[in-house]
Amino acid sequence: MVKTAAGSIQDTAGTRSALPHDGAGQYVPTLVDRWDGLIDWDRRREGEQDFFVELLKEVGAHRVLDVAAGTGFHSVGLAEAGFDVTAADGSLEMLRRAVANGEKYGRRFEAIHTDWRTLAQHIDGRYDAVVCLGSSFPHLFAEADRRAVLAQFYEALNPGGVLVLDHRNFDAIRMHRYRSSGNFYYCGKDARVSVAHVDDELCRFQYDFPDGATHHLEVYPILKDELNSLLTQTGFDTVQDFGDFSAEFDIHESDFIIHAARKS
Ligand code: SAM
C-alpha cells in the first residue's frame, strides 16, 4: 500500500501482466511526464462538454469506477461533478499522477493499482458505472483477454449499470484515413501524433515532441462493430454508439468512437 497526501493507492504490484504487449508497461516515466501536456485538460474539457457526466447522470449513476484512470482527467472531473469515484490503472506511475492531480484540484478518490485482468480481486462491491476512456481498451491484443476483461467490467457493475468504453476510430485508421481534429481527447498542441504502422493486428502511434523526444504506443486496432459484438456476447443488453460525442456520426469523419453498454 502506497500512502499519498491526497489518498491511498491500493498497490497490487505483481498483478501486472508480463505479456509481450503489456498495455500499462508502455507508459514509461518519460511518457507519463508528458501525458498531461498531450491531453491539455482545459481544451479536452471544452471538447467533451460534460458528455460523460450527462451520460452517467442519465442512468442515475452514483458510484463510478474509472478503470483506465491514467493521470486522472476523468476521475477528477467526475469527482468534481459529484460522483463517488474509484480510480484504477495498471500503471503505478500514471495512478500516482492521478492522485496528485486529484490533490491539485481538491479531489480525493480511492486509487487501485491493478491490471484489468485481476480487477475483481481488488474492488470493493459493485459500481453503477465503469468507464474505460482515452482509447485504453485497445491495449489488449489477445481476443481472449478482451473477452475476459469485458467480463470483469460486467461483473463490476450493479444491475442497471453502464459500461462506457471508447477507442480511436480504427475503422478509419485501418483504411489509412487517420485524422485527428485536435479538438477531442488529446488536445495538446505541442506533440505531433502520427500512425507509424497499421495493419489488421497492430497500430503503432508515434508521438514526436518539440524537444526531439519520440515515444511509441502500440495497440490493437479494434473495429466499432467488433467491439459491439464482444459487448453483446459479454451479456450487455443494449449498446449505444457515439462518434465524437454525437449519436449521429459519420464513421469516416470521427476521431473517437464511444460505446455505452447497459447491464439489465
Ligand atoms: N484514461 C486516461 C486518459 O484518457 O487520459 C489514460 C488513457 S491511456 C491511453 C491508457 C491507460 O490504460 C494507461 O494509463 C494504462 O496504464 C492503462 N492500461 C492499459 N492496459 C491496462 C491493463 N491491462 N490494466 C490496467 N490498466 C491498463
26 located within any domain: no
Specify the pTM.
0.93
DSSP single-letter state for residue 174: T
Of 44, 74, 75, 89, which is best to mutate to test ligand 1, by the most ligand atoms within 8 angstroms of its C-beta? 89
Residue 246 belongs to a domain: yes
pLDDT for residue 190: 84
Handedness of CA 88, 93, 94, 98 (dihedral sign): positive
Residue 177 inside a domain? The answer is no
Cell numbers representing residue 84 in the block: 463517488
pLDDT, tens digit (0-9, with 9 covering 90-100), for 211-259: 999 999 999 999 999 999 999 999 999 999 999 999 999 999 999 999 9
CATH of the domain at 123: 3.40.50.150
- How many angstroms separate the CA atoms of 126 and 161, rounded? 9
Q: Is residue 48 part of a domain?
A: yes
* Number of folded domains that form the chain: 1
Q: Is residue 197 part of a domain?
A: no
For the chain, what percent of residues have pLDDT higher than 90? Answer: 83
134 falls within a domain: yes
If one counts every other C-beta atom within 10 angstroms of the C-beta of residue 34, the result is 18
Find the residues whose C-beta lies inside 6 A of ligand 1.
23-24, 27, 39, 68, 70, 73, 89-91, 94, 115-116, 133-136, 139
Helix or strand (DSSP H, E) at 35: helix 29-39
**Planar angle of CA 106, 107, 112, nearest 5 degrees:** 140
Q: Does residue 57 lie in a domain region?
A: yes
User: What domain range is 81 assigned to?
Assistant: 40-169+223-262
- Asked whether residue 51 is assigned to any structural domain, the reply reads yes
